[in-house]
Amino acid sequence: MTGVYKNYIGGRWVDSVTERTYPNINPATGEVLGYFPRSGPEDVRLAVEAAQRAFDSWRKVPAPRRAEILFRAAELLVKRKEEFARQMTMEMGKVLTEARGDVQEAIDMTYFIAGEGRRLHGYTTPSELPDKFAMCVRMPIGVVGCITPWNFPMAIPSWKVIPALVCGNTVVFKPAEDTPLSAYNFVKTLEEAGLPPGVLNMVVGFGEEAGAALVEVPGVRLISFTGSTEVGTEVAEKCARLGKRVSLEMGGKNAIVVLDDADLDLALDGIVWSAFGTSGQRCTAASRVIVQRGIAEELTVRLVERARRLKLGNGLDPETELGPVINEQQLRRIAGYMEVARQEGAEILCGGEVAREGELAKGFFFKPTVLGNCRPEMRVCQEEIFGPVTSVIVVDSLEEAARVNNAVPYGLVASIYTRDVNKAFKFIEESYTGIVYVNAGTIGAEVHTPFGGTKATGNGHREAGEQVLDVFSEWKTIYIDYSGRLQRAQIDVAPVALG
Active site residues per annotation = 249, 283
The upper half-sphere exposure of residue 156, i.e. CA atoms within 13 Å in the direction of its Cβ, equals: 23
Closest CA to 201 of 15, 51, 67, 70: 51
Provide CB contacts within 8 A for 30, sequence distance 6+: 362, 363
Closest CA to 128 of 478, 493, 477: 493
The upper half-sphere exposure of residue 254, i.e. CA atoms within 13 Å in the direction of its Cβ, equals: 35
The 3-class secondary structure across the chain, one letter per residue, is CCCECCEEECCEEECCCCCCEEEEECCCCCCEEEEEECCCHHHHHHHHHHHHHHHHHHHCCCHHHHHHHHHHHHHHHHHCHHHHHHHHHHHHCCCHHHHHHHHHHHHHHHHHHHHHCCCCCCEEEECCCCCEEEEEEEEECCEEEEECCCCCCCHHHHHHHHHHHHCCCEEEEECCCCCHHHHHHHHHHHHHCCCCCCCEEECCCCHHHHHHHHHHCCCEEEEEEECCHHHHHHHHHHHHHHCCEEEEECCCCEEEEECCCCCHHHHHHHHHHHHHHHHHCCCCCEEEEEEEHHHHHHHHHHHHHHHHHCCECCCCCCCCCECCCCCHHHHHHHHHHHHHHHHHCCEEEECCCECCCHHHHHCCCECCEEEECCCCCCHHHCCCCCCCEEEEEEECCHHHHHHHHHCCCEECEEEEECCCHHHHHHHHHHCCCCEEEECCCCCCCCCCCCECCEECCECCCCECCHHHHHCCEEEEEEEEECCCCCCCCCCCCCCCCCC
> Strand pairing partners for 220?
143
How far apart are the two ends of the chain, measured CA to CA in Å? 82
Rounded CA gap, 89 and 96, in Å?
6
Provide CB contacts within 8 A for 296, sequence distance 6+: 392, 394
Q: Are 230 and 38 in contact (CB under 8 A)?
A: no
